[in-house]
């Protein structure tokens, strides 16, 4: 464990909590892509199956359980509790365009052709594109509430910190997980455009981030 990975995990946790609290307190999920949240719940469900097969550390177990619980709670709030505020007209990204290539690729590119490894690889590739429906929804509505942008900021920060973590582990431990790194870099690139808008619009106190 290193400070970059720990900060990344904390940033990830903060992002998930920001979103969950926003929905819970505003009793609304307007502007939130339910599809992205379902994809994230799927990412955790397929990646954390090793909870039942290997014990890495208490931290590892606790964080996995927390991520699973919070992501399912978020999906529950969107599609059950506050479903009447769910903006289905704008949450129209075709997730099959993400799932088919990701499934195909995880069968082609993996470390071992075993169910657990293929599911892990699937979760890595899926996480890289899971935010697309949310980013698509923001471009479609042309704006994002500031809290949603903070959620996206911390999500992007988590990915940027993980890249720092991989640089650190490569130099300190000679560790290099090619699938995770390649997919993680692609995922982080998707946030770059958002980061620019976040800094130039949200942090300048505009409150909402409205796209040009």
Site residues, other proteins (CB under 8 A)? 5, 9, 12, 47, 50, 54, 56-57, 60, 63-64, 67, 111-112, 117, 120, 162, 165, 177-180
Shortest distance, position 107 Cβ to other proteins, whole Å: 15
Shortest distance, position 54 Cβ to other proteins, whole Å: 5
| C-alpha dist (Å) from residue 155 to 50, 70, 149, 158 | 23, 15, 10, 5
Shortest distance, position 76 Cβ to other proteins, whole Å: 22
- Joined together, the tokens standing for residue 146 give 């500031």
Shortest distance, position 25 Cβ to other proteins, whole Å: 26
Smaller CB distance to other proteins: residue 59 or 196? 59
Smaller CB distance to other proteins: residue 3 or 100? 3
Smaller CB distance to other proteins: residue 51 or 197? 51
| Euclidean distance between CA atoms 28 and 53, whole angstroms | 38
CB neighbourhood size of 186 (10 A): 13
Smaller CB distance to other proteins: residue 5 or 140? 5
Smaller CB distance to other proteins: residue 57 or 84? 57
| C-alpha dist (Å) from residue 38 to 34, 85, 101, 103, 164 | 6, 17, 17, 16, 28
Shortest distance, position 166 Cβ to other proteins, whole Å: 9
CB neighbourhood size of 94 (10 A): 11
| Euclidean distance between CA atoms 169 and 173, whole angstroms | 5
Smaller CB distance to other proteins: residue 4 or 93? 4
Identify which of 67, 74, 87 has the alpha carbon closest to the alpha carbon of residue 24. 74
What DSSP element (H or E) covers 151? helix 146-173
Shortest distance, position 104 Cβ to other proteins, whole Å: 20
């Amino acid at each position: 464990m290193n400070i970059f990975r720990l900060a990344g995990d904390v940033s990830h946790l903060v992002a998930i909590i920001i979103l969950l609290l926003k929905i819970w307190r505003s009793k609304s999920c307007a502007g939130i892509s339910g599809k992205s949240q379902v994809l994230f719940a799927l990412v955790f469900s397929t990646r954390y199956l090793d909870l039942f097969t290997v014990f890495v550390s208490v931290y590892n177990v606790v964080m996995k359980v927390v991520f699973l619980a919070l992501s399912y709670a978020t999906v529950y709030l969107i599609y059950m509790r506050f479903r009447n505020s769910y903006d289905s007209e704008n949450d129209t990204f075709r997730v099959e365009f993400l799932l088919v290539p990701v499934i195909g690729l995880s069968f082609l590119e993996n470390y071992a052709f075993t169910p657990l490894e293929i599911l892990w690889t699937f979760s890595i590739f899926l996480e890289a594109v899971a935010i697309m429906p949310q980013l698509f929804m923001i471009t479609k509505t042309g704006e994002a509430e500031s809290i949603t942008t903070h959620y996206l900021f911390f999500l992007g920060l988590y990915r940027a910190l993980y890249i720092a973590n991989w640089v650190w582990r490569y130099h300190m431990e000679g560790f290099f997980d090619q699938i995770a790194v390649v997919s993680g870099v692609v995922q982080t690139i998707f946030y770059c455009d958002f980061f620019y808008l976040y800094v130039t619009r949200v942090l300048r106190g505009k409150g909402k981030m409205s796209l040009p």
